Amino acid sequence: MALLRMYVKPNCPYCEQARVGLREQGREFEERDATVDRGYREELMRFSRGTGMVPTIVDGDEVVSVGWHGHG
């Protein structure tokens, strides 16, 4: 199981819900702030099909989630 990457923006309540949800699932993840790194923003736009919606969660090159809807 690859380490998840979660693309986030500061003060995003859905990103915080995703953090809590992933931790409850015992999943490890790396956060990538799309507002401070141009490369992360480009990745976010590609994985979110141009929407820029956060959180976008990626496992390897596979999109797990665009947005957070209380997965679990």
> What amino acid is encoded at 16 in this protein?
E
Torsion of CA 43, 22, 18, 46, to 10 degrees: 10
Dihedrals phi, psi of 29, to nearest 5 degrees = -150, 155
- pLDDT tens for 7-59 read 999 999 999 999 999 999 999 999 999 999 999 999 999 999 999 999 999 99
CATH of domain 4-66: 3.40.30.10
**65 conformational bin, left if phi > 0, alpha if psi -120 to 50, beta if neither:** beta
Predicted local distance difference test score (pLDDT) of residue 2? 64
What residue spans define the domains of the chain?
4-66
Predicted local distance difference test score (pLDDT) of residue 70? 66
Predicted local distance difference test score (pLDDT) of residue 67? 93
